[in-house]
Amino acid sequence: MDVEGAEYRLLDTWMEHYDVLPFSQLLAEIHLKEEDGDEVSFSDFRQWWERVEAAGLRPFWAEQDMSSESLMGSLNPSSEPVKFSHYSFINTRGKHILLE
């Protein structure tokens, strides 16, 4: 899922709508800014992450953005730092073959 900062709103909507999320795995690109461009504070991110875990999603893999633009940030201080990370989640709720 790569929805350019809308992942917070999208997952919030799914968590409000479904008792058990309707997928067994999710690969998501989690941005450090929301879709309106506002930065996500650590406190807000932590609360959101706790809701994701309470919904049954458990991260099993994470990979930091290593795009050329982000890598250039380490060489060029005027470049923007890492903007997102990829997370893979498994849904621990519901019945699916991954947990049988």
- DSSP state letter for 55: T
Could you tell me which residue, 96 or 92, shows the higher pLDDT? 92
The answer to whether residue 72 sits within a structural domain is yes
The answer to whether residue 64 sits within a structural domain is yes
The answer to whether residue 1 sits within a structural domain is no
Residue with tokens 């795995």: 25
Q: What is the mean pLDDT of residues 63-92?
A: 68
The answer to whether residue 99 sits within a structural domain is no
Domain that holds residue 78: 7-93
The answer to whether residue 100 sits within a structural domain is no
Number of domains in the chain: 1
Give ∠ CA 46-51-57 in degrees, rounded to 5.
Answer: 105
Out of 16-20, 39-43, 87-91, 96-100, least confident range = 96-100
- DSSP state letter for 46: H
Distance from the Cα of residue 92 to its chain's centroid: 17
- Answering whether pTM is above 0.75, one says no
